[in-house]
Structures are given as structure tokens and as C-alpha cells.
Structure 1
Amino acid sequence: MKKLLVLCLVLFTLIGCNEKGPKIPVYAWTGGPGDATDKELLEKFNDFKDKGIDGLMFNGGHDPATYKRVGALVKKAGMDFHAWIPTMVQGENPKISKDLYAHNRNGESAWDKPAYVDYYKFLCPNKEGTYDFLAELYGSVAAVDEIDGMHLDYIRFPDVILAEGLWDKYGLVMDQEFPEYDYCYCDKCTSDFKEKTGIAIKEVADASQVQEWKQFRYDLITKMVGRLAKVVHKEEKEINAAVFPGPSIAKKLVRQEWNKWDLDAVYPMNYNDFYLKGPEWVGAVVNEEVRAVNGLKPIYSGLFICPNPDNKTKENDPENHGLLPSEIGTAIRTSMENGAAGICLFTPERMKPAHWEAFEKAIYTDYSEK
């Protein structure tokens, strides 16, 4: 009897040491594979899994073979695998005609004169050739057995207004919709809009005040998502997307009315520093996001990590800002208390040991009764 009690005590101790309690779902944006070997990739993925990450949004280009190779290793590590592929932003590609790129209010093509940065070469979502290209791309990758889902990114127009935290970086004060950042005014968009509403938008004194024109462009993106969802669902895979917060902010800045999209899950990029807000703001915006979809779709709160916490106050570029180790717990807690299904890290590579320590404590907390 005494031996039995000792054995039970040992088993109880071992179980207790290994059991951390309930864990919230955690995803992460990452990419590659670059020159990494299978062994190196597997070690990395095992490390992510051990740290509490359940699935990856993996940016690996357009080749299905890359996703098959990497996906097998992610699966071996015990994580979900989603292909993270930009949608409307596309660089030079023999499959894409130059006339598929969007035009701003000045009539300039995003191919010839992209807004803000060179890679902002946005396609027009109103061109059938755009859909044809994307349907073939997403369909071919979704057909890979190792894929669990397709993760849309840049499924939007260019930022007609930048997040305020970026204004200084680009030397702009964006208190209105300036024509060089306002898309799309190609002949097809403007003629289709006139046929639908009777409004010749190029002749309007201030197009930014025409609500029907805003809604027309929201609907173009919504329609594209719906069509791509059919392509992905045909392969019996999930479809989800990285979106701007809100959707109040998303609508204002990039024409995303994502609460109407046919998605299986939503990953809002709740990057508080971009909006000059503290970590507690994340919870407030998650509250809006959950209500926007009536709690019918999971919201995974995207968190932007500071890669060099010691230099944050000295760093001028907000893209090198982000959550400090002392802030990540607040961002996770407020996300979960306001109805998020889980979180998504941008990126695990930016996390420092102090981040991981605070992260582990936060993800093994029960928020169900908060």
C-alpha cells in the first residue's frame, strides 16, 4: 500500500510539472525558407511549438512546391500551416499585364508611380485579369495537401491615409484624401461606377466626399474576397486574412469593409504603435472587431513586437517600434478579455527572451471568467 501511495505521488508530481494549464491559441507570421536546410527549419519550428505557437502564417512565395516542403516540416513540428501570400500587391510577373495595375486620382499607374514605397504596386480589383491571376495562384497553393488554409494579405487598396504613426516617417500630414494616394480611377472603375450611380466621379469637385464612391470600392474588395473564398473552399481549405483594425480604421485607411467578407477567420493587425496608442488600446479595438462580426467568426488579435526594446525610444522608424516585454501581457490579456479567439505574433523572430517570458505567463492564463 505504501509503495502504491509513493507511485501515485510520483505520477502526480510528474503530471503537475508538465501541466501548465489551459493555453490560448497562438499563431505567428513568418517566412522563408531562404537557404535553410530541412534540419534547420525543423529545429526552428520545434522551437516555435515549444514556446506555445500553434500555427504559422508562412510567406514562401508563389511556388506550391515550397509550401509542400515547408508544410511537411511544420506538420512534423505539430503546428497548423497557412500560406501567407500578398494579394493585390504584385511585382513584375510575366503572368500580369501592366494594364491590370490600379490608377490614382491623378491618373498615375501604381506600376509606374507607386505610392509611398517602390513595392506598392497594387492591382485593380475590378479587372477580370486580376481575378484570373489570383484564382490560379491561390488555387494551386491551396491544392497542396500540407496546407490548412490560405492567408490573404494586402487585400485592399493603397493607404489613402497612412496610420498617424507613419506620418513623420514619410514627411506627410494626412488630414485629407490626397489624389496621389487615392485609388482606383482607371477607366473601368470610373465607368462602372457611373453606370451604377450616374455619377461621373472624375468630374466631382471632391471625390473623397462621395460616400457611394467609397462604398463602390469597399464592395470591389469584398467581391474579390468572395470569389477567392470559393476557389480555396473548393480545395476544402480555410481562407483567412490579415486586415487593418476596426473595421472602422480599415475602411477609412485602406477601403476594407472586412466584416462583410466571406472568411473563416480574421487576423486584424492591431499594431498599437502605428496609431500612437498604448497596449491597452488593443483590447478596445478587439472589442469593436468581435462586435463587427457579431461573434460569428474568430478574431485573432495581431500583435506587433518591438525587435530592440532597449532602443525603442531612440528609434525614429515606427516599423521598429512595437510591444515591449512589459507590454505584451497587457496586449494579450485585453485581447482575450474582449473576445479574441487567440493572438498572432508579428513576428516570433522579433521576440527577445524577456518577451517570451512574459508571453508564456500570458498565454497560460484562463481568461474565460474575466
Structure 2
Amino acid sequence: MKHNLYIIIITLFLVVSCTQQKKETVAKTDEPVELAFKYWAWYGAGAGVADSIHKKQFKKYADNGIDAVLIDTRADANYLSKIAPFAIEEGLEVHAWIFTINRPGDTTALKHPDWYMVSRSGKSCFDNRPYVDYYQWLSPSHPDARQHIWNLVEGLAKVDGVTSVHLDYIRYPDVYLPVGLLPKYNLVQNEELPDFDFDYSDAAVEKFEKLYGRNIKEVEVPAIDIEWKQFRLNEIKTVVDGAYDIAHKHGKKLTAAVFPYPEMADHMVRQRWDKWSVDAVLPMIYNNFYNEGLDWVKFASEQGVKDLQGRNTQLHTGLYLPEMDDETVANAIKAVKESGASGVAFFDIQESHYNVIKFSK
């Protein structure tokens, strides 16, 4: 009898032990997970806008299916601290959107003309800007300019409640404009033109010569110098990787707005984002800019997803909505979902689009 009782006790012990182990296993793996497919919106939070306007907009986003908002506060951490809680109250993720290499009107940078990129034709972004007046590009090769950017990133990363710092304009000026924009500037770009080929600033030229033993200004055809091209790709990567370390030090992620897919970004703006340390990229697959249809949205998204295989980086496709009707928006979202992307980000949502977005989830 005692023997049978002993067996029963041992059996009960084993059952309880196995059940407890199962519970512990579940508890260990029961961590927050990313949304299956995330909806984002870029939000230009203008200075001087009343709090009530921000609150109204964030509520509209939340009510219509937006999960995350990218807030442009012109790298003002104090302003972000003020309005971020309004978005968080509506259940939105907050991402701190910053103009990174392109720093228009940066009062600190403008005190240092040597911080700016210079074109092959000798024009500085400090006072002679390519394409548009707000193109004021800092040189990632200038140590003080680079540190200034990292300081701005750190300020935003310290703001409570922010999910990520979101890098925009993290590249060189457009070597080639999207084909759909060329008529606007009355340009033909069949080669790398001197006015749009950067960075020939003293900081970059001297650094390159120190690394590779030649003055790039004396090279007959810089466009075919592979080391010169790689040097500039690496300079952008250095800024990104440094920002990643800063963001993660403060418990935040790093995200970035980038050109459609890595090979294209490399060609157009010296940006190879599949090599970066970054948690998520939002490629701006603005098909209207390239005279392309929705099949290209799917293709470019798929290409980016393939290029990121093996890396711990998500891809969320950016769409430019002003030129899309409601049906096109619905079909664009469908194309992104079919591509394997992790989400979709909307730039400039029109009023009629909100219902489309809401009912597409």
C-alpha cells in the first residue's frame, strides 16, 4: 500500500512539474510582438500650431486605422516633448522625424560654412543650393557637422514615449532626379553633372586622399572611380550607424526614410540602405515621381524585402497619396501587402482617403 502511495505521489509531482515548466515556457515567450501589418503617417507638425489642432489630427489618424505617426518637429526636442503625449494618448506610436544630412535653416550649422557639401563645379550648399532653396546639405565627412547631427539625434532619443528616431534626407543630394520631376527643372540628366555631384568639400577631399592616396579633384572622370563612390556610401553609413548606437543607448529604435530600393538609391543619391544598422526602413516608393504604376510599387517593395534578407531590418513601403484617387489608394495598399512588406506609410493623406485606409485593415 505504501509502495502504491509512493508511486501516486511521484506521478503527481511529475505532472505538476511539467505543467509548471510549460507555464514558464509560455511566460518566457509571451513578449510584445510587432503589429502584423503597420500603418504609418508622416505628420508635418508646424511651429505655432495650436495644441487642439494636433490633438484633432492625431485622433483622426487613430480613428481611421493609423498605428504610427512620424512627427516632424525640426529636430526640436522640447517641441516634440510637448506634442508627443497628444499622439500617445490616442494610442499612436510616436517616431521623431528629423532632416538629417539636409539641414535647411539650421542656425548652428549656418555659423560654419565649412560644414557644407560642395559640388564638383565648386558650389557650396551653404550659399548656392542645388534644385531648391531648402537643399542645405552638411558634409558627413566633416567631424563637427557629423557630431552636430548626432547631438540632434540624441536630443530626440531622450524624449519620453518616442518609439524611434526617424532619419530623413540621410543621403547626398540627388545625382539623378526621378524622371517624372525632370521637366519641372528643365533638366536632362544622362550622366553625373558637375552641379549635382557632391561632396568635394575640403573635409571630404582631404579624408579621401588620406585613405586612398589621391586627390579626387584631379581625377579625370570621378564618376567611374569606384573607391570614390564607395567612400561616399560609407560616409552616410557612418552617420547612420552612429545614430543607431545613440538611439539604442536611450532605449529607442532607429528608422529611416529612403529611396525605393538599395540599388536604385545607390545610383540616384549615394545611399545603400541594406548595409546600414537600422531597425526599419520606409522606402519612398512614390510611383508618380517615376511615371510608374502600381505594379512598380509591388516590384520595388519586393526588391527591398529581398535585399534585406538575413538582416534584422523591417521594410514599410512609403506611398505618396495626393495624386491617387480612392480606388488607386486601395489597390496600392493591396500591392504593398502582397509584396511581403511589414507595413505601409502614407505621405499627405487626402480627406477622402481616410475611409479607404480604415476599411483596408
Cα offset for 1:212? 1.5
Cα offset for 1:304? 0.2
Cα offset for 1:65? 1.7
Cα distance per residue 1:52-80 (max 9 Å; x no partner): 00010000123222111111100001100
From 137, 140, 145, give the equivalent of 1:125.
140
The amino acid of 2:183's aligned partner reads D
From 59, 73, 81, give the equivalent of 1:60.
73
Cα offset for 1:116? 0.5
Mapped partners of 2:106, 2:177: distance in 1: 27
Mapped partners of 1:40, 1:181: distance in 2: 39
Residue correspondences, number: 324
Which residue matches 2:196?
181
Cα distance per residue 1:25-60 (max 9 Å; x no partner): 101101214443333322221111010000100001
Counterparts of 1:26-45 in structure 2 under 5 Å? 26-45=39-58
Cα offset for 1:162? 0.6
Which residue matches 1:347?
348
**Counterpart contact for 1:301–1:343, Cα < 8 Å:** yes
Mapped partners of 1:192, 1:297: distance in 2: 30
Which residue matches 1:297?
313
The structure number with the bigger radius of gyration is: 2
Does the C-alpha gap of structure 1 residues 182 and 45 become closer, same or farther in structure 2, counting only changes over 3 Å? same
Which residue matches 2:333?
332
Mapped partners of 1:210, 1:237: distance in 2: 38
Does the C-alpha gap of structure 1 residues 40 and 188 become closer, same or farther in structure 2, counting only changes over 3 Å? closer
Mapped partners of 1:23, 1:257: distance in 2: 27
Counterparts of 1:176-325 in structure 2 under 5 Å? 176-294=191-309, 296-306=312-322, 322-325=323-326
Cα offset for 1:336? 1.5
2:62 is the counterpart of 1:49: yes
Cα offset for 1:172? 0.2
Which residue matches 2:3?
none
TM-score by length of structure 1 reads 0.84
Indicate the RMSD between aligned Cα atoms, in angstroms: 1.6
From 132, 144, 152, give the equivalent of 1:137.
152
Secondary structure of the residue that 2:332 maps to in structure 1?
helix
Greater Cα shift, 325-334 or 87-96: 87-96
Which residue matches 2:120?
105
Counterparts of 1:148-159 in structure 2 under 5 Å? 148-159=163-174
Secondary structure of the residue that 1:148 maps to in structure 2?
strand
Secondary structure of the residue that 1:83 maps to in structure 2?
strand
The amino acid of 1:302's aligned partner reads G
Cα distance per residue 1:2-22 (max 9 Å; x no partner): xxxxxxxxxxxxxxxxxxxx9
Greater Cα shift, 285-294 or 28-37: 28-37
**Structure 1 residues without counterparts, runs of 5 or longer:** 1-21, 307-321, 365-370
Secondary structure of the residue that 2:171 maps to in structure 1?
coil
Secondary structure of the residue that 2:125 maps to in structure 1?
coil
Cα offset for 1:23? 7.3
**Counterpart contact for 1:225–1:262, Cα < 8 Å:** yes
Identity %: 33
Cα offset for 1:98? 1.3
Mapped partners of 2:216, 2:142: distance in 1: 18
**Structure 2 residues without counterparts, runs of 5 or longer:** 1-34
Mapped partners of 1:34, 1:120: distance in 2: 20
Does the C-alpha gap of structure 1 residues 189 and 34 become closer, same or farther in structure 2, counting only changes over 3 Å? closer
Which residue matches 2:358?
360
Cα distance per residue 1:163-182 (max 9 Å; x no partner): 10110000001111000100
Cα offset for 1:195? 2.7
Cα offset for 1:333? 1.4
Mapped partners of 2:219, 2:283: distance in 1: 33
Secondary structure of the residue that 2:288 maps to in structure 1?
helix
**Counterpart contact for 1:279–1:323, Cα < 8 Å:** no
TM-score by length of structure 2 reads 0.86
Cα offset for 1:249? 1.3
Cα distance per residue 1:304-324 (max 9 Å; x no partner): 012xxxxxxxxxxxxxxx332
**Counterpart contact for 2:97–2:165, Cα < 8 Å:** yes
Mapped partners of 1:158, 1:207: distance in 2: 16
**Counterpart contact for 2:141–2:207, Cα < 8 Å:** no
Does the C-alpha gap of structure 1 residues 92 and 24 become closer, same or farther in structure 2, counting only changes over 3 Å? closer
Mapped partners of 1:94, 1:118: distance in 2: 15
Mapped partners of 2:328, 2:219: distance in 1: 46
Greater Cα shift, 183-192 or 43-52: 183-192
Which residue matches 1:7?
none
**Counterpart contact for 1:103–1:185, Cα < 8 Å:** yes
Mapped partners of 2:252, 2:220: distance in 1: 46
Which residue matches 1:18?
none
Mapped partners of 2:161, 2:324: distance in 1: 32
